[in-house]
Structure 1
Amino acid sequence: MKPVVWGIVSTALIGMEKVNPAMLKAKGVEVRGLASRDLKKAQAAAKQLGIPKAYGSYAEMFADPEIEAVYNPLPNHLHVPVTLEALKAGKHVLCEKPIALTAAEAEQLEEAERASGKLVAEAFMVRWHPQWLTARKLVAEGAIGEVRAVQVGFSYFNDDPTNVRNMNDIGGGGIYDIGCYAIVAGRWFFGAEPERVVSIIDRDPKFGTDRLASALVKFPGSRQLSFMVSTQLVPYQRVQVYGTKGRIEIEIPFNAPPPHACRVFKDSGADLKGSSIETITIPPCDQYTLQAEAFSKAIRKEAAWPFPISDAVQNMRIIDALYKSGDSGKWEAV
């Protein structure tokens, strides 16, 4: 396959530390440019990563005919406007989650994608990790019976006022940052869309962001997603999938460490002390590399991209309902 030529907007930490290095290792991917509103920052970042071109503005990179696809890891409030700008310039766009701040804002991308003829997608890298694929295959095969509950816990501690995750006016907060993963987990394992949600949200008195949120998400039938996410608790993450005959646990579901193997546990529940747990070891891989390869193959039409932009809009509808419920104290329809 002819490599897809990529450009990266911004020197965001997630890009510099995780995604950009992973993309540089990907097959069918050529990262040729990096843009920042500060040319010196762009040049320093490009030099650090070995990327040949640096641009002093996003528009300058979008105007470069060599760039075919753009990775957008900017702060949340810039996801839609910068993605729209890139689509208008004729670029494919892989944009970090959450795709927008509201579903109404995200809907702009559907029309822009149709008008541009390019591909735009939300970057949920976990969907490409073999541990998620393995766990969903077990569910589909009936390994734990009828699945009725998914439980997610995801937390970290960050009280830095200069961090974008703590800036309420630009889309900071726990539900936007990590609650979106919990929603994806429920949709992934149930293979369905939720009907209604209820949430309890605690906001930081200084930042105004949701620092602790708990939620119940009702899916059709007797199926429920429950989750807790926090930006100010001990670092922790787990996904549990409960069925009528067993459970599946993903040990490090979201920040899977690329150099190390990952583990998925299948438990019949026959022994509460753990002797009935079967450990499935997943060889080391980089989910960001796999994501970049999949998106590039979709651009070259060598494989379909299974998550249309409408999928991202739906995730935002659920997030909208969760924030609405946090304010109303009631169940809210999706």
Structure 2
Amino acid sequence: MKTVRWGVLGNAKFARDHMAPAIHMAENAELVALGTSKPGSVAGWDFCPSLQQVSYADLLADPTIDAVYIPLPNHLHVEWTLKAVAAGKHVLTEKPISMTAPEIDQLIAARDASGLLVAEAYMIVHHPQWIRARELVQGGAIGKLKHVDAFFSYNNEDEPGNIRNRPETGGGGIRDIGVYTYGSARFVTGAEATDLSCRMIRENGVDVWAEVDAILEGPLGRATYTAMTSMRLQNRQEVTFHGDKGLLKVANGPFNANLFAEARIELHNGQTVTSERWPSANHYKLQVENFGRTVRTGAAYPCPLEFTVGTQKMIDAAFAVAREISL
């Protein structure tokens, strides 16, 4: 099979620590170039000794590069995704791929016109724990779904310069981690949110605490939904799908599998608890391999832009109806 040759557009810490090593490890993928605006900034990329350091323009102009991964600040995602598509590259852009849902329509149009693969780097749907959670919930393992609650928090209060704490770079907790609490519920249930309300705390123009309540409506019927995101609380990650006959917890490391904690799901039926674990699955690597498979064979991609736009609509709705509070 043809090896997909990758370039990374931007020397982001997340790219160095996670996605670039995943590209380097993935089957039928080769990491060949880093596009950077700062010469000599390849420190920390020793895992790929053959990596070329080039400018953004030279990376996009290189005809030997097939695909580009974009980990730039949020407000630059759409601009550089469109530039990469115009240069003839397949594109995997870090989440959120846009600041608003209508912007994704531009990306869908560019994708369809070019025949290239354009996708958001929403890695959790590639992980077997989430695929299994969807199978169990949609297969009736917890009976009729009644409620979903999701929680994702960390504390970066002591990092005022972090792009997540800066409004001009599209920062805030919802854009950074709401994509997980909102998107994971949509992925597992196949539902969309209605009757959405939001309470929010802002600091320096960005949301640092947000609680969303909604109704999920989809093929499993109607269920209540609550999601909490915060950049000012101790680390916590958990999603629970609660039915009338049981509940499913994706509670150990649902969003940072095997980094935050070992990936595990727990199925509770009465007094019986069964669990499944995935101690070695790397969702970043699986994402790259699925992306490459679609590029090479035309296989359906697990997370198309049509899914992404649904999550972004929830994000947009949360901001639109948010009621600011203080604690």
Alignment partners' CA distance in 2, 1:15 and 1:317? 26
Identify the residue that residue 29 of structure 2 maps to in structure 1.
29
Identify the residue that residue 65 of structure 1 maps to in structure 2.
63
Identify the residue that residue 86 of structure 1 maps to in structure 2.
84
**Greater share of strand:** 2
Instruction: Quote how far apart the aligned CAs of 1:225 are.
Output: 2.0
Q: Could you report, residue by residue, the CA deviation over 1:101-134 in whole angstroms, capped at 9, with x for unpaired residues?
A: 1112222111111222211001111001111111
Instruction: Quote how far apart the aligned CAs of 1:60 are.
Output: 1.2
Contact 1:101 1:171 in 2 (8 A): yes
Identify the residue that residue 256 of structure 1 maps to in structure 2.
257
Contact 1:11 1:45 in 2 (8 A): no
Q: Could you report, residue by residue, the CA deviation over 1:181-213 in whole angstroms, capped at 9, with x for unpaired residues?
A: 111112112212223311001001xx2210000
Contact 1:26 1:290 in 2 (8 A): yes
Q: Could you report, residue by residue, the CA deviation over 1:17-70 in whole angstroms, capped at 9, with x for unpaired residues?
A: 1111112110011111111111211x4354453242111x21110000010000
Instruction: Quote how far apart the aligned CAs of 1:302 are.
Output: 5.4
Identify the residue that residue 232 of structure 1 maps to in structure 2.
232
Identify the residue that residue 187 of structure 1 maps to in structure 2.
186
Among 199, 211, 216, the residue aligned to 1:214: 211
* Alignment-mate amino acid for residue 132 of structure 1: W
Identify the residue that residue 332 of structure 1 maps to in structure 2.
none
Contact 2:94 2:120 in 1 (8 A): yes
How many residue pairs match? The answer is 320
Identify the residue that residue 116 of structure 1 maps to in structure 2.
114
Answer with 305-314 or 9-18: which moved more: 305-314
Instruction: Quote how far apart the aligned CAs of 1:236 are.
Output: 0.8
Alignment of 1:93-104 (within 5 A): 93-104=91-102
Alignment partners' CA distance in 2, 1:166 and 1:22? 27
Contact 2:267 2:274 in 1 (8 A): yes
* Unaligned runs of at least 5 residues, structure 2: none
Instruction: Look up the SS of the partner of 2:205 in the other structure.
Output: coil
Alignment partners' CA distance in 2, 1:257 and 1:31? 23
Identify the residue that residue 284 of structure 2 maps to in structure 1.
288
* Alignment-mate amino acid for residue 315 of structure 1: T
Identify the residue that residue 277 of structure 1 maps to in structure 2.
273
TM-score with structure 1 setting the length:
0.91
Q: Could you report, residue by residue, the CA deviation over 1:143-163 in whole angstroms, capped at 9, with x for unpaired residues?
A: 111112111010000021110
* Unaligned runs of at least 5 residues, structure 1: 330-334
% same residue: 39
* Alignment-mate amino acid for residue 145 of structure 1: G
Q: Could you report, residue by residue, the CA deviation over 1:257-278 in whole angstroms, capped at 9, with x for unpaired residues?
A: 169752211101x34xxxx321
C-alpha spacing 1:201/1:261, structure 2 compared with 1 (3 Å): closer
Instruction: Look up the SS of the partner of 1:284 in the other structure.
Output: coil
- The answer to whether 1:146 aligns with 2:134 is no
Identify the residue that residue 134 of structure 1 maps to in structure 2.
132
Contact 1:62 1:86 in 2 (8 A): yes
Q: In angstroms, what is the RMSD of aligned CA positions? A: 1.8
Alignment partners' CA distance in 1, 2:260 and 2:322? 39
Contact 1:33 1:46 in 2 (8 A): no
Identify the residue that residue 244 of structure 2 maps to in structure 1.
244
Answer with 299-308 or 71-80: which moved more: 299-308
* Alignment-mate amino acid for residue 129 of structure 2: Q
Instruction: Look up the SS of the partner of 1:49 in the other structure.
Output: coil
Contact 1:154 1:238 in 2 (8 A): yes
Alignment partners' CA distance in 2, 1:29 and 1:260? 27
* Alignment-mate amino acid for residue 208 of structure 1: G
Alignment partners' CA distance in 1, 2:295 and 2:301? 9
Contact 2:199 2:324 in 1 (8 A): no
Instruction: Look up the SS of the partner of 1:61 in the other structure.
Output: helix
Contact 2:193 2:216 in 1 (8 A): yes
Alignment partners' CA distance in 1, 2:149 and 2:283? 22
Alignment partners' CA distance in 2, 1:261 and 1:45? 26
C-alpha spacing 1:132/1:51, structure 2 compared with 1 (3 Å): farther
C-alpha spacing 1:249/1:137, structure 2 compared with 1 (3 Å): same
